[in-house]
Structure 1
Amino acid sequence: MRRVLMDPLLGEPWTLSPSVALRPERFGALAYHFGNRKLTFLKRPELVAVVRALGDQPDIRSALDAAGVPASQHAAYAAALRGLAASDMIRPRRESA
Structure 2
Amino acid sequence: MSTRSAESAGAAGVGDSSVFDPGAPYRCSPQVSLRPEPFGALVYHFGTRKLSFLKTLPLVEVVKGLEDHPDVHSAIAAAGVEEAQRPAYLKALAGLAASGTIEAR
TM-score category (smaller protein): 0.7 to 0.9
**Paired residue for 1:20?**
32
What one-letter code is carried by the residue in structure 2 that aligns with 1:46? P
Q: TM-score, normalised by structure 1?
A: 0.84
> For the Cα contact (< 8 Å) 1:9–1:78, is it kept in 2?
no
**Paired residue for 2:101?**
89
**Paired residue for 1:75?**
87
Return 5+ residue gaps in structure 1 as ranges: 1-7
What is the 5 A alignment of 1:55-66? 55-66=67-78
Distance 2:99 2:23 in 1: 20
Tell me, yes or no, if structure 1 residue 40 matches structure 2 residue 52.
Answer: yes
Return 5+ residue gaps in structure 2 as ranges: 1-19
Higher relative contact order (CA 8 A, sep 6+): 2
Based on CA coordinates, which of the two structures has the bigger radius of gyration?
A: 1
Alpha-carbon displacement from aligned partner over 1:37-62 (angstroms, at most 9, x marks no partner): 11111000000000000011000011
Aligned residues: 86
Distance 1:59 1:27 in 2: 25
What one-letter code is carried by the residue in structure 2 that aligns with 1:81? L
Q: TM-score, normalised by structure 2?
A: 0.78
Runs (4+) of structure 1 exceeding 3 A deviation are: none
**Paired residue for 1:3?**
none
Q: CA RMSD in A?
A: 1.1
Q: Percent identity?
A: 57
